[in-house]
Structure 1
Amino acid sequence: MDVNSIWFILVGILFTGYVMLDGFDLGVGILHLFSKKDEDRRIGLNAIGPVWDGNEVWLVTGGGALFAAFPEVYATAFSGFYDAFMLLLCALIFRAVAIEFRSKEKSPIWRKSWDIAFASGSFLSAFLIGVAMGNITWGIPLDKHFEFTGNFLTLIHPYSIFLGITTVALFAMHGNIYLILKTEGEFQAKLRKWIKITIPIYVFCFLVFNFWTMYSCKHIEQALHDRALLLGFLALLAVLAVGAIPREVHKGREARAFFFSCAQMAFLMMLFGASVFPNMIFSNPNVENSLNIYNGSSTDKTLNFMLWVAIIGVPIVLTYTACVYYIFRGKVKITEESY
């Protein structure tokens, strides 16, 4: 395995960490307005309060790693998806401000306004992440200089929109499971009923999306022929992980349910990576203009140097994340200092 492939895996790990961690707090936001009681909404906010900002570190780290290891890919993605990324940034800012400001005043209008901002920002963030992933999978028009030749409307098509919806459903299910893990009593009982809705919706979207991908994306279809055993194994693991979630929730083993939810997201990211490798941005329709781990990468000297930086830096991020989750483990309790 060469250093380019190693960096492809490392960047994938960082973005997988982001999807698993920020995915559940985006999911909590998506479900926020379905809670009618002010106390339930505060519990949801305090369930993610100590960790949501740390979760977003993984996005920044993943973007930084992409910039260092694959600058051509970074430049094409961030310029081609500029409008979408600006919307994503605004959505993330509004939800962050809503978390901090929502409980500063007791006025119902004040709180309801920030509740809407929090839920809308979470929904839009999840949707745009899915749209971006859909375009990476489907392919975008690139010229021979690897520059995006479309516009914002080019990115909005049925396939990317449906993956956006699927991502919203995935994060809602993931956030639902996290809230069950962090709550108790009447609110937890309500969340257990919600899981009977969020899981089937996600599974339906998951199945439709995968069949759509297999029969519409020729390069993915080719990958299925070339790596049938690997892709089939990863898909099976993802399906088994999803299937284990309702069983663990029913038996009251919320921690295991959350583990399986994280696991299926990791398997899906591995499935995605194995399907597109060695491409990073597929050019559609001009396949020869695709960006891969070689024509979009930094020099070997840079990649080797950055590998040592990653060997030192990634364990630090993992340690920090583990410490935060350990310190704030257990059920959420509302106090005077709570959101």
Structure 2
Amino acid sequence: MSIPCVQLLTPEGVRVEHPEYKFEADAGELRDLYRDLVVVRRVDGEGIALQRQGELGLWPSLLGQEAAQVGSARAARATDYVFPSYREHGVAWCRGVDPLALMEVFRGVSHGSWNPDERNFHLYTLVIGSQTLHATGYAMGVAKDGADMAVMAYFGDGATSQGDVSEAFNFAAVSDAPVVFFCQNNQWAISESNEKQTRVPLHQRAQGFGFPGIRVDGNDVLACLAVTRAALERARRGEGPTLIEAYTYRMGAHTTSDDPTRYRDSAEVALWEARDPILRLRTHLEAEGLADEAFFAAVDAEAEAAGRRVREKVRTMPDPDRSLMFRHTYAGAHALVDEERDEFTAYQASFAVEGS
């Protein structure tokens, strides 16, 4: 990486110090972070497989971005509020959301099967960048309430080209909103590279709005945790927003409907595979004698069990009652909607097999 970024763990697994961002952790915390990374990757891989087998309509993989998500999410308090986009499976895991709830969305069983206020984790947002405005508005509200909390919004590099993101930056800046903007720069907005998105590093955009921006090694789970923790603490102190650019790489496809081999070469992918966030932390744990083979085997077994559970539960999910699509069109009853529901119900019943 030619542009300086905060790094606490090199790609070779060597621990380094940073003058501003410190991270002190015992062996147990490091092992917990490793467990998060491995389980999240296994569940994500199951999502890909299930879509390929027709069990999910779509799946946006986080492969390669585990450290950015787990590190930042573990920096947040339970009382902080998080606004994700649609790829934050690792953040959802750290917030205690069952992976099956995510699968329900992409299977079409529900529009969002978790209560956002139970985990302070909002529903997934597929409209690119709009969650940054939602997060900013929420942060402005909690600031007026005097709440001891911060808000965090996740989005990708492609979203920074959306007007909503610039508007969110401006609203957050002028109101000193306690919000952290966490941009996972995986370098590809579907098939558009960073070079087609920006002429300056994304974190520098914050300067134009009057608040700090910082670039962090997005494949370094320790650096992501330390930088995000500092930004959230700054927000809680009433010092306003921060933009974090986690420089990482999307090692898989944008979604399962995408073919990345059409727009990027294998050499680039191989380069970033060597910077794998899981391998990096494992190498460090092994070199420092902080984990043994029994630990790694136990984590692999736990991850495999999580993937197997997801597979079994997804394949047995009951289909939703299709007439429910009419229920929340309006807050109350509506004659035209009632008529359309009755027509649809009758149409569905016409396919019933007599005697079945």
- Of structures 1 and 2, the one with the larger relative CO (CA 8 A, separation 6+) is 1
TM-score w.r.t. the length of structure 2 is 0.30
- Structure holding more helix per residue: 1
- Structure holding more strand per residue: 2
TM-score w.r.t. the length of structure 1 is 0.31
